[in-house]
Structure 1
Amino acid sequence: MRVVMTVSNPFKPDPRVYKEAKSLVKAGHEVYVIAWDREGKYPKEEIVDGIKVIRLGPRAAYGAAMVLKLPLFYLNAFHLVLKLKPHVIHTHDFDTAVLGFVLKFLKGTKWIYDVHDLYETFVPPGAIRKLVLSLDRMLLLSADSVIVVNRGFVSLFRKWGRLGGIHVVMNSIGEIKQVFKKHRKFTVFYGGVLSPGRFILEMIKISRELGVSLRIAGFGTLEGRVKEMCKRPCEFLGYLPRNEALKEMGIAHATFILYDPSSENNRLATPNKLFEAMALETTLLVVDGSTAAEIVREGRCGLPCEYDEKSVRENLLKLMESPKDVKKMGRSGRRLFLKKYRWGRFEDVLVRLYGGKST
């Protein structure tokens, strides 16, 4: 079966899209990924682990300005999809879903809508947010099948009117066989996007007050501020390749997923690093009331906190003062990961979906 996936990033690669595409290639499908190279600096065509990647323009700035160039990407991508004549178009997120919608109704192509995030939560309250929400509901009801990242999205979309054809493929990872030896000194690691609403600057402040070794890797709008604030015992590592970031996660005692819970998308989020931490026996600090907190409680692999400095400081101090508990929580998280959350389980869901069997 020929499958075309669409993404609005240059696929460098996008971890979730890569995992799904690679699993489908392994299952015997011919998989293309049409990616938007807004920077114009990546190969126009390449094969990545059997995945045929084609990158298109136009060049465009990141942020709100990209909306002006999005129709041109749609036009370029649509022409290419027509040439490829896929059996299935698999669109990732709201900003490429229109391609699946149009192809389904013009050509009768099977359309799978893969929802990573709630896009309306990225738009300020007002008329535009309401429009995005209305369009997304219409797209969700039109797709042949919908893939979501966890059960929280299933519950929400059923309220929106999508009652069937929803499949859960979580942002998990393959089994990590190596478990690293932890630092001698209690260490916290954060690897990811450096942006507001992730408790990064607050954690630097708390770590310096408590004398915690905090190591931060990533890039984003807060990068300059992070560099400025990171003085001993905190250290900014810059951008790290995935293998190096996993090693840093593995030798740390703890990590944190503290997203601002005022956003519904943040409350529902179960990012890659949740499962990476569990697989690497690294204890987690998460926001209470979130989907991540439900999993942490299930695995007894960390501590839920309120989204404020007092609560996070108290819970971080608990971890610092309880090395045996930290070790126990790390091992408990890995056990649950291997039993319930490793990528192989979700790969099976994806492959069955493409074989015509529902879950």
Structure 2
Amino acid sequence: MRIAQVCPRYPPYIGGVETHVAEISGRLARAGHDVTVISTDPAGKYPRDEVIDGVRVLRFPAFAPGDAYYLSPSLSNFVKKSQGFDIVHAHGYHAFPALLATASSARKFVFTPHYHGKGHTPLRNLLLKPYKVAGSRVFRRADSVICVSEFEKGLVCRDFGCDGKVKVIPNGVIKSEFAGLKTVRASKVILYVGRLEQYKGVQYAIRALGELPDYRLQIIGKGPYKEALVKEAADAGVSERVEFHSGLTREELLKCYASAEVTVMLSKFEAYGITVAEALTAGVPTIVANGSALSEFVDGGLCRSVDLPVSPEMLADMIRKAERMPYMKEILDWDDVVRRLLTVYQEG
């Protein structure tokens, strides 16, 4: 099949949607399909046309204030003129490329919204209301809607009324990466991996450090909230025990999982939570916030949850009590994800 994946950004940009699209695209290409990624590059940092892992990657200029929206007239024109795709699979309700992809003449249009129902900032949340008039068109155009969690499916069906189209295919991990991963803990490390945004809740972990004098916090990622987190650590008097890292290789990230005492993801809005799935696959005790798809990881053992806002004392107590034990829920391998995806592509 000739398959187009349309998304706001693609690696080397980092993020959950970027990871999702890269993992499925490479596997589809290795399975013999002709895969093109149609994306944007608002900073103009990467080649406009290149092949990565057997996938043709096209990047178009875009207007993306605050790393959001990704409005690209040139991407829109390309999609309108493109012929011959059997499948167009659009990703991300919260940005314009999926809406622009509805102009495609492909035989089948599939949509993965990665929808969490709210904007990351008060302004973005406000803008979601008028955008819904246009954004609803993506759901109407879609032959199939794929959600990455039951939580996301509930939001989508509530807000867009497309119950009969929706299937749930969770994200995955590369299980072979974790098969031989050995725990190496020289000190007590709390680990956070993800974008640095206020809604992600990293500030709660910084505040808890005051109650945990023998712990360090490793924060891996980048984003607009870093400066505020640095100030938070300084104000709390724990700067010497907070480390910021970005641009790690995959091998370096796996070593961080192996050395962590516990991971935290105290985010308000998540349609899935790839780094949580990775931490649990690595056997790391994990604490997540209630109120989003993160709750679906909770098994009462290796993965436990907390309501937000959480006090430093309560979070510190949970961190102290975290312990390694078998994880009781299923996490898919990306190979399994692609097999399920191909079934959706071939329907009808």
Q: TM-score scaled by structure 2?
A: 0.85
Stretches of structure 2 that go unaligned for 5 or more consecutive residues are none
The superposition leaves residues 119-145 of structure 1 with CA deviations (integer Å, 9 ceiling, x where unpaired) of 653463887432222333332122111
Counterpart-to-counterpart distance in 2, 1:293 and 1:120? 17
1:62 counterpart residue number: 65
| Counterpart residue identity of residue 171, structure 2 | N
Counterpart-to-counterpart distance in 2, 1:196 and 1:56? 29
The superposition leaves residues 133-180 of structure 1 with CA deviations (integer Å, 9 ceiling, x where unpaired) of 233333212211111111122233333321223222222212021223
The superposition leaves residues 297-336 of structure 1 with CA deviations (integer Å, 9 ceiling, x where unpaired) of 26x21221121242x532432442x4xx6122xxx22x63
Asked if the contact 1:188/1:252 (under 8 Å) is kept, the reply is yes
Asked if the contact 2:71/2:97 (under 8 Å) is kept, the reply is no
* Residue 213 (structure 1) aligned to one of 210, 213, 216: 216
Name the SS of the counterpart of 1:22 in structure 2: helix
Name the SS of the counterpart of 2:102 in structure 1: helix
Name the SS of the counterpart of 1:141 in structure 2: helix
1:111 counterpart residue number: 109
Asked if the contact 2:112/2:147 (under 8 Å) is kept, the reply is yes
2:2 counterpart residue number: 2
Question: Greater shift after overlay, 231-240 or 29-38?
Answer: 231-240
| Counterpart residue identity of residue 281, structure 2 | A
**How far is the alpha carbon of 1:246 from its aligned partner?**
2.7
| Counterpart residue identity of residue 171, structure 1 | N
The superposition leaves residues 27-63 of structure 1 with CA deviations (integer Å, 9 ceiling, x where unpaired) of 32100001211111101222111111112225x4532
Number of residue equivalences: 332
**How far is the alpha carbon of 1:279 from its aligned partner?**
0.7
2:226 counterpart residue number: 223
**How far is the alpha carbon of 1:284 from its aligned partner?**
0.9
2:254 counterpart residue number: 246
Asked if the contact 1:187/1:252 (under 8 Å) is kept, the reply is yes
Asked if the contact 2:152/2:271 (under 8 Å) is kept, the reply is no
1:47 aligned to 2:44? no
2:200 counterpart residue number: 198
Structure-to-structure mapping, 1:143-158, within 5 angstroms: 143-158=142-157
Name the SS of the counterpart of 1:336 in structure 2: coil
| Counterpart residue identity of residue 327, structure 1 | R
Asked if the contact 2:190/2:218 (under 8 Å) is kept, the reply is yes
Residues 140 and 216 of structure 1: CA distance in aligned 2, closer, same or farther (over 3 Å): same
**How far is the alpha carbon of 1:343 from its aligned partner?**
2.7
Counterpart-to-counterpart distance in 1, 2:202 and 2:225? 9
Name the SS of the counterpart of 2:58 in structure 1: strand
Which of structure 1's runs of 4+ aligned residues deviate more than 6 A? Answer: none
Stretches of structure 1 that go unaligned for 5 or more consecutive residues are 261-265
| Counterpart residue identity of residue 224, structure 2 | T
Counterpart-to-counterpart distance in 2, 1:87 and 1:117? 25
1:275 aligned to 2:277? yes
Residues 129 and 316 of structure 1: CA distance in aligned 2, closer, same or farther (over 3 Å): same
Counterpart-to-counterpart distance in 2, 1:281 and 1:88? 37
Residues 342 and 10 of structure 1: CA distance in aligned 2, closer, same or farther (over 3 Å): closer
| Counterpart residue identity of residue 2, structure 2 | R
2:185 counterpart residue number: 183
| Counterpart residue identity of residue 15, structure 1 | T
Counterpart-to-counterpart distance in 1, 2:52 and 2:283? 30
The superposition leaves residues 79-99 of structure 1 with CA deviations (integer Å, 9 ceiling, x where unpaired) of 5xx345211111111222223
2:323 counterpart residue number: 326
Counterpart-to-counterpart distance in 2, 1:290 and 1:93? 17
Residues 172 and 108 of structure 1: CA distance in aligned 2, closer, same or farther (over 3 Å): closer
1:132 aligned to 2:125? no
| Counterpart residue identity of residue 208, structure 2 | I
Asked if the contact 1:120/1:133 (under 8 Å) is kept, the reply is no
Name the SS of the counterpart of 1:21 in structure 2: helix
**How far is the alpha carbon of 1:275 from its aligned partner?**
0.6
Q: TM-score scaled by structure 1?
A: 0.83
Residues 213 and 238 of structure 1: CA distance in aligned 2, closer, same or farther (over 3 Å): same
Counterpart-to-counterpart distance in 2, 1:125 and 1:233? 33
- More helix as a share of residues: 1
**How far is the alpha carbon of 1:3 from its aligned partner?**
0.7
2:334 counterpart residue number: 343
